[in-house]
Amino acid sequence: PGYGTAGKRCRVRANHLLVQVAGKEIYHYDVSISPESMARERNRSIINELVRLHKQHLDGRLPVYDGRKGMFTAAPLPFKTKEFIVKVSNTERGYQGEKEYKVTIKEVAKLNLYNLQQFLAGRQRELPQDTIQALDIALRETPTAKYTPISRSFFSKSFGHGGDIGSGVECWRGYYQSLRPTQMGLSLNIDISATAFYKAQPVMDFALEYLNIRGDAPRRLFDQDRLKLKKALKGVRVVATHRPDISIRYKITGITSAPLNELTFDLDGTRVSVVQYFKRQYDYSLKYVQWPCLQAGSDSRPTYLPMEVCNILGGQRYSRKLNERQVTNILRLACERPDKREGSIVEGY
């Protein structure tokens, strides 16, 4: 292999930034949280609270955390293994009440950046992948706290150039970053990206737009439309708005086959209709009683949520297949000339 000799030399400007690495050490720790949480966002809030409350036990270190099991510091913590008790506000129930977690931090390994320097200089054959991973996590720490992270990309409405792409979905702009070893040294590859998010709006507005229903909602929803809406909303997080004293968040697990005015549940040994319950408990007269109801929880212990009292929370990626119009719109919003793309990269990063 070698350099080309035919043709004319030209200078190419690439979206790679050279990264300088000091010949120091990174300390790797294993994190165990009990009760276990599968949500990275929740885990991060637990560790952030731990760092805030227990600075003296961490010797003032500011660790970076991957949201799962990995924690890294630039200097050693003053212990090999330590347990902490952390209480975190319950965001799902409007910050009312706290939940207690036991966090165990245990030293795993010491990563020497000198080995990475040797590899980049061609004096070592094996790439220290664990060191690259630790540096990548460190570079992700700040944007993860500021923006919405998805895989290796970060998105925010504040980046601009996004917009509505139809059917209750909008385009958010963001940027992708990845740390890579190259012939020239360690490189940070950055590029602009775009993806689809659910619009933050009332569920009824989403339903009408998604089903392409013009004007007022029909008296009853056809079963094929109900199934289509169920598929689109399953797994989406919503916040209930019928209680002025508290905002409770739910994850949608399904949509009922029966309309709202036929739904009942057991309350202190008595069957009560959902419509009656909302009127008696919250003095709320439900309007779309012939529409189906959102369901949270399990089939054995369901929580019924009328669509008209729920709003879709912002910052949720739309992972369904985009229709033709949405694809056209997102491509139109994402395409940029090279000079503008470079400006967007500099602005975003």
Residue type, 126: E
Task: Classify residue 306: in a domain, yes or no.
Answer: yes
Are the C-beta atoms of residues 300 and 254 closer than 8 Å to each other? Answer: no
129 lies in some domain: yes
Amino acid occupying residue 274: V
Same domain, 244 and 132: no
Residues 129 and 212 in one domain: no
Question: Which domain CATH number covers 249?
Answer: 2.170.260.10
Other Cβ atoms less than 10 A from the Cβ of 255: the count is 22
248, part of any domain: yes
Q: How many domains are there within the chain? A: 2
pTM: 0.89
Assess whether 127 and 218 both reside in one domain.
no
Q: Which of 120, 122, 87, 123 is nearest to 103 (CA)?
A: 87
Contact 320, 210 (CB under 8 A): no
Instruction: Decide if 188 is inside a domain.
Output: no
Q: How far is CA 109 from CA 21, 67, 113, 134, 231, in A?
A: 19, 18, 13, 11, 45
Same domain, 253 and 140: no
| Residues 138 and 216 grouped into a single domain | no
Per-residue pLDDT of the chain (349 residues; tens, 9 = 90+): 577 788 888 888 889 889 988 888 999 999 999 999 889 999 999 999 999 999 999 999 999 999 999 999 999 999 999 999 999 987 776 666 789 999 999 999 999 999 999 999 889 889 999 999 999 999 999 999 999 999 999 999 988 778 999 999 999 999 999 999 988 899 999 999 999 999 999 999 999 999 999 877 777 889 999 999 999 999 999 999 998 888 899 999 999 999 999 999 888 888 999 999 999 999 999 999 999 999 999 888 889 999 999 999 999 999 999 999 999 999 999 888 888 888 887 776 6
Residue 230 and residue 113 in one domain: no
**139 and 21 co-located in one domain:** yes
139 and 24 co-located in one domain: yes
* Residue that terminates a domain, selected from 146, 162, 194: 146
3 state SS of 314: coil
Q: Which residues form the domain of 20?
A: 16-146
| DSSP run (H or E) holding 85 | strand 81-89
Residue 279 lies in a domain: yes
Q: Do 119 and 226 fall within a single domain? A: no
Is there a single domain that holds both residue 28 and residue 105? Answer: yes
183 lies in a domain?
A: no
Contact status, residue 174 vs residue 333, Cβ threshold 8 Å: no
Say whether both 113 and 225 belong to one domain.
no
